Homo-oligomer: A and B are copies of this chain.
Amino acid sequence: MEKGISPAVIRRMPRYYRYLGELLEDGVERISSNDLSRRMHVTASQIRQDLNNFGGFGQQGYGYNVQFLYDEIGKILGQTHMNHVILVGVGNLGQAIANYVKFEKLSFKMIGLFDIDPSKKGKEVSGIKIQMVDELEEFMKTHQVDIVALTIPKESAEPIARRLIELGVKAFWNFAHVDLDVPEGVIVENVHLSDSLMTLSYNITKLK
C-alpha cells in the first residue's frame, strides 16, 4: 500500500509514537501540529508532512485526536502483532538486551537464547534457558522467528548471520561491530554503540 516513504520519515515515527504515548498518559485528548511541534522541537510543517505520508489522521480546525493517532502510528510500526525474537550471544550485552526486550515492549517476545560457550548451557536468563548455537537448526524448524538479535563479537557475526539467513531469517537487530552484507530482502537494523560513542566524542571536541 503506502510506498516509497523515506527512511528519514520512518526514523521519526517511533519518536512521534513515544510523544503521543506520553500525551496519552497525561490524559491529553487532542493536539495540534503546532503544539506538538513546540514539545518535540520540530516544525509543525514537518509533522503534518510526515503524517500525511500515511494518511489524513487529523481534522481541520480540530487537530489530531491523540488516542487515534497513537493507534494509527502503532499500526504503521507493526505494534499490532507479536514479533518473536531470538538472541545469539548471551554475554553482558546479550543478557541486558534479553531483559530489555522482555520488559520494554509488548509486541516483542524473546523466545530463545543461544551461545557457543558450553558452560552456559541450560542456564536461565530472563526465564529462558540458554541453548547452544548447534541447536539453532533444530529450533528454527519448530519455531517461528521474526527477528534475530546479534550480540556477538564482530568476527562471528558474518558467519552466524549467513547461517541464519540460510535458515530463513529475514531480520537482524545487529549489535556486532560490523556492517553485515546481506542479500536483498533481508533487513539489518544496526545498533553500533561504538559509532555512537565516537560521534559523541567528536562533538565534545567541537565544544571546546
Binding site for B on A (CB under 8 A): 10-11, 13-15, 17-18, 40, 76-79, 83, 91-93, 95-97, 99-101, 104-105, 107-108, 146-147, 170-171, 173, 177-179, 185, 187, 189, 191-205, 207
Contact = CB atoms under 8 A, between A and B. Distances in A.
The 3 A-B residue pairs whose C-beta atoms are closest, nearest first, are A14-B195, A96-B96, A78-B201
Given A92-B100, A191-B193, A207-B185, A198 B147 contact: no
Scoring A76, A95, A96, A97 by chain B CB atoms within 10 A of each residue's CB, the highest score goes to A96
11 contacts: A17-B198, A18-B177, A18-B195, A40-B179, A79-B201, A92-B95, A96-B97, A105-B198, A171-B204, A187-B204, A189-B200
Give the dominant DSSP class at A's interface.
helix
Given A204-B83, A204-B170, A198 B14 contact: yes
A198 to B, nearest CB: 4
Contacts of A14: 192, 194-195, 198-199
